[in-house]
Amino acid sequence: MQRSLMLGFRVTLLGLVIFGLVASLPAFGVGTPMQKKSASDDVRGDVEGNDGSIEMGARKAALPPKHQRTEWWTLEKGPYYGVMGQEGLDPNDRALIHSRAGTFRLDSSLAERLPGQLRRDLNLIGGQGGAYAYLVALPTEDMYRQGSLRKQLEAQGLELVDFLPKEAIVLRVKAQDIRRVLDSNLFDHVEPYHPAFKIEPLLGRVAFWDKDRAESEVFNLRVVSHRGEDLERLTARIERLGGIVLHQVVIGDRAFLEVDLHFSRVFDLAGIGAVASIEERREYRVLNTVGPSIMQTGRWNRGITPFFDAGIDGGGDTRCVGPGPDGNLTSGASGD
């Protein structure tokens, strides 16, 4: 009898121990598991559109205001000549050219869309090798099918300077060869390299934090030459316009110059044949960065955002690492 009672006591004690162990299991398995904070707990929203953080919105509001620029463009057309979608252009059209000023179609009506002051019939340049001009040409499809385009042009005594997507090219042509190129059956269309092609539409329009620079009539420009142009001659031409060349460097066979120039001489600068493109140097702020996307992926995939959490933003610039839910890269709900 005593032995039976002891056995029952042990079984009861063992049952209590097992019950206690089972009762403690929800903390590890069957209850609410330990997990990363869910998306519904994330208080960050899209109220600011490009930084996805209510707190960051407050910080951004504290940034100094940007100062707007004074309108300087005085021509009847430009500097915006429409974008491909608005113009109803076919993105697969081989006659399209993508220039610094925008997208155009190489056809007989192109020149009519450009302001007269930035349009050229022929822009002859006097150089050591004699007078020459830059032309934009669209080679026939047969030329592309017959092998190296450069070799075919060299066989015709023509110099290929650059490619201008989609399939157009830039030629440097001696004065005595211009008529031969215009009448040639090698090209579907030939057009002068108009000064309008060179000017970035945002030039003189981007607001600055620096009030003095925003109100200044002197633009700080980045000027890029055509390949093979003489840097000293180009510098001398810019200085004759009253420009100050602050910095210059040649990379490969192309020159890059930083130039201070009064806004009233920008059109004259574009008229220099050796110039390929003109844009305004942007305003930069020290340590004004969020960091590479491989380090901070943002709310698009609900990853951690250590830079935002530390109070670092991009100074108001929009950066995107992926499309938003509507497929638009500039969507307010797109990547950070």
Q: Where is average pLDDT lowest: 60-74, 115-129, 172-186, 251-265?
A: 115-129
Angle 98-315-37 from CA coordinates, rounded to 5°? 105
Average pLDDT over residues 161-186: 91
| Lookup result for tokens 């080679």 | 139
Residue type, 69: R
Both tokens of 290, joined, read 């969020």
Closest by CA position to 164, among listed 279, 80, 276: 276
Residue 40 has pLDDT above 90, yes or no: no
> Rounded mean pLDDT of 303-316?
59
Q: Mean pLDDT over residues 82-94, rounded?
A: 75
Q: Measure the CA–CA gap between 124 and 24, rounded to whole angstroms.
A: 90
Say whether pLDDT at 196 is over 90: yes
Structure tokens, 28: 């590890």
Domain boundaries, the chain: 96-198, 211-280
With 90 as the cut, is the pLDDT of residue 254 above it? yes
Comparing 54 with 93, which gets the higher pLDDT? 93
Q: What is the pLDDT of residue 100?
A: 86
Confidence of residue 330 (pLDDT cuts 50, 70, 90): very low
- Min mean pLDDT across 39-43, 74-78, 211-215 is at 39-43
Q: 0.85 exceeded by the pTM? A: no
Task: Tell me what the mean pLDDT of segment 177-183 comes to.
Answer: 88
pLDDT by residue (tens digit) across 54-84?
A: 555 555 556 678 899 999 999 989 998 866 6
28 band by pLDDT with thresholds 50, 70 and 90: very low
Q: Are 149 and 169 contacting, i.e. CB atoms less than 8 angstroms apart? A: yes
Does pLDDT of 296 surpass 90? Answer: no
Q: Which two tokens stand for residue 179?
A: 């008529």
Report residue 219's pLDDT band, with 50, 70 and 90 as the boundaries. Answer: very high
Q: DSSP string spanning 226-270?
A: PTT--HHHHHHHHHHTT-EEEEEEEETTEEEEEEEEEGGGHHHHH
Both tokens assigned to 310 = 């530390």
Give the pLDDT band of residue 312 (cuts 50, 70, 90).
low
Report the SS3 class of residue 134.
strand
Nearest to 158 by CA among 127, 190, 128, 196: 190
* Between 230 and 61, the higher pLDDT residue: 230
Nearest 5°: the CA angle 255, 256, 257 is 120
Report the top-level CATH class of 211-280: alpha beta
Name which residue leads in pLDDT, 10 or 151: 151
Tell me if the bond preceding 79 is cis, omega within 30° of 0.
yes
Report the amino acid identity of residue 182.
L
96-198 and 211-280 have identical folds: yes
Q: If you average pLDDT over every residue of the chain, what do you get?
A: 77
Q: How many percent of the chain have pLDDT more than 90?
A: 44
Q: What SS3 state is found at 73?
A: coil
Closest CA to 229 of 128, 119, 137: 128
pLDDT band of residue 120 (cuts 50, 70, 90) is: confident
Contact 196, 113 (CB under 8 A): no
Instruction: Assign 15 a pLDDT band (cuts: 50, 70, 90).
Output: low
Q: Which of 27-41, 181-195, 206-220 has the lowest mean pLDDT?
A: 27-41
Torsion of CA 226, 86, 68, 116, to 10 degrees: 50
Query: For residue 253, how many other CB atoms are within 10 A of its CB?
Result: 11
Judged against a pLDDT cut of 70, whether residue 307 lies above it is answered with no
Question: What is the fold of 96-198?
Answer: Alpha-Beta Plaits (3.30.70)
